[in-house]
Amino acid sequence: MRSGPGVGSSPPTEVSFARRVTVVAGLVGALLTGAAVDRLPGPFEADGGAVRLPPGMPVAAPPAALSSTWYCAGGTATVGGMADAHVTIANPSSRPVQGTLRVHPSDGEARTVPIAVGAHDRANFRIGDVVAAPYAAATVELDGGGVVVEHIVHGPNGFSASPCASTPSEKWYLANGSTGRDDELLIFLFNPFPEDAIVSVAFDTEEGRRVPQDLQGVIVRSGRLLVVKPADHFRYASVATAVTTRRGRLVVDRLQRRGGTRPGLSLALAAPSAGPVWYFPEGSTAPGTDQSIHIYNPGEREADVDVELTLEADSAEPFTLKVPAGQHTTLALGAEDRVPKGPGFSVTVRSMNDVPVVAERTIAAATPAARNGVTHTFGSRVLAREWVLAVGGATAALAESVVVQNAGDADATVDVVGLQDGREVAFPGLQGQHVPAGGRAVLPLADHVLAPGLSLVVRASAPIVVERTLHLVTGVGLSATVGIPLWPAG
C-alpha cells in the first residue's frame, strides 16, 4: 500500500535550575514574543572495556561508566533562525560530571567550551552562543555515565525536542517527511569522527524510488555537518529516506517545518536500524487532531505488519498492512471508523513475519483541539524500568504530560520525580501510579507541580515505555518525544 498525500558570542557556563531559567522557559518566552539490525559499540567505556548498547534508540550509559558521548545533529545557530537550537543535559546520578560541548557549524570551524552538570541537576546551552552559522551540530563528551542529552529547537512555526544520539551508525532511516509546497524538509548528516565518511541517500516517494545522482557517494568531511534539502530534487507530500555510509559512521537528524493551515516544527533523531516492534504511548484522534502511523520497510522482503491500538475505554481490531520491500505506507487513524474519536490510546506496530521495519507517528492538531502544532515521533524499540526526560516544564503558558504505556504482562507501579536544586523531588500525586498490564496512563504535570523548567525521572516496577508531550497553551507549539532509558534497558 503506497502512501497517500500528507499534510500539504560568549561561551555558555554551567547552568542549574536555581541559577538560570531553563531552555523550555526561554522557549516559551521566545514563542510568546515573536534492514538488518545495526550493533555498533556503545560510545562509553566501563571497567571491563567497551559496552554495547541495545540497537535502535538512545540509551544512557551506566552510572559507573568512565565516559559517555552524545551527538546532536540538527538545528540553526543564527538569531531568528528557523530552528534555534539548544542542548539540555540531565544528570540524575549522584555524582557531578564535567566535560566539553563541541559545536560544529555548517560553515566555519568547530568550537569547544567546558561544561559541568551537578548531581541531580541539569544544564542548558544555546548553540548560537557558541558559534554563529546557518546550521550547527554538537558533540557532548562527559567524564561519566548515567547522564542523558536532548536538544530542542524553536522558531516561528513552533518548537520540538528530540533525544540526541548515544551511538553512531552506518545506516539511518526516516519513515516520513514532506517536501510539499508549504513544507521544508532538512536532513542533517553529521560526522564527528576523525575520518571522512562516504554517504549515499535514497528516497521512497509516492511515485517510487528516487536516487538523486548528486547524493550518491557524497563525502562528509571529518568533524563536519552536511545539510541535505530533498526539495532541491523533488516535491512530494510523503517521503521515506535511507542514508547509508559506504565508509565511516554518521549521526542523522531530520528537521521538518510544516506550513499551510497546520503549521509546525519537528526535530527527530533518525532510526539507526529497523526492528520488529515499535511502541507509541501517546495517541489521539480528538476533534481537531489528525494522527497517522508511517511504516517504512528498508529490507528486501515484504513485511506483514499489525498496528495494534490500546484504547482507554474500548477495544479495536488491529490493522493489518503489507509493506512492500523498499517502500513506505501511511495509516491515517483519524480516517478509520474503528478508532473512536476522543479517548486517548497507545499504538504498537509489530512485524508479524520478522521483517524489520521503521515506524513513525505524526500528530497534527489545531482548533478545536487543545493543542496546536505538528509533531513527528519515532516509537520506542525497548521497554525499561527507568526513563529520563531532560527537557520539560509546566507553567501557565506551557503544558507537559508524561504518558506511560505498559506493553508488558505485569502490572506496573510508576513514580515520577524531578531534578531540582541538586536533589530529587518526589511530587505528591505522581507517586505509586498504577498502570495495568496492557494499559496506559496520562499524567499532566501541572496538576501536581508548576516549574518553568524541569527534568524528570520516571521509575516503574515493571518494564514500560515513557513519552513526554509538550504544548503551548496558546499559540503554535507541540512536541511529543519518547524518553531516554537508563541502563540497563530491560
243-266 pLDDT tens trace: 999 999 999 999 999 998 889 999
For residue range 386-423, list pLDDT tens digits in order: 999 999 999 999 999 999 999 999 999 999 999 998 99
For residue range 329-386, list pLDDT tens digits in order: 999 999 998 888 888 999 999 999 999 999 999 999 999 999 999 999 999 998 999 9
For residue range 283-303, list pLDDT tens digits in order: 999 999 999 999 999 999 999
DSSP state of 133: B
Predicted confidence at residue 7, as pLDDT, reads: 25
Report the SS3 class of residue 262. coil
Between 28 and 324, name the one with better pLDDT.
Answer: 324
pLDDT above 50 (res 489) = yes
Calpha distance 242→270 (Å, rounded): 10
Q: What are the phi and psi torsion angles at 217 (to 5°)?
A: 70, 30
**What percent of the chain is modeled with pLDDT above 90?**
81
pLDDT above 70 (res 6) = no
- Residue 377 corresponds to which cell in the numbers above? 515521533
423-462: burial string, b at 16+ Cβ within 10 Å, e else? eeeebeebeebebeeebbbebebbeebebbbbbbbbbbeb
Predicted confidence at residue 56, as pLDDT, reads: 58
Contacts of 335 (CB under 8 A, 6+ apart): none
Q: In which residue are the cell numbers 521512497 written?
A: 204
Reported as a pLDDT band with limits 50, 70 and 90, residue 45 is: very low
Predicted confidence at residue 401, as pLDDT, reads: 97
For residue range 49-89, list pLDDT tens digits in order: 444 444 557 999 988 999 999 999 999 999 889 999 999 99
Report the SS3 class of residue 167. coil
pLDDT above 60 (res 24) = no
Q: In which residue are the cell numbers 522482503 written?
A: 301
For residue range 81-136, list pLDDT tens digits in order: 999 999 999 999 999 999 999 999 999 999 999 999 999 999 999 999 999 999 99
- Interval 192-210 mean pLDDT: 97
Mean model confidence pLDDT for the chain:
88
Give, for 362, the enclosing helix (H) or strand (E): strand 358-365
Integer angstrom CA distances of residue 90 from 94, 96, 199, 327, 390: 12, 11, 32, 37, 5
Q: How many CA atoms lie within 13 A of 214 on its CB side?
A: 5
Q: What are the phi and psi torsion angles at 317 (to 5°)?
A: -65, 140
- Residue 148 corresponds to which cell in the numbers above? 542523558
Reported as a pLDDT band with limits 50, 70 and 90, residue 36 is: very low
Count the Cβ atoms, other than its own, within 10 Å of residue 104.
25
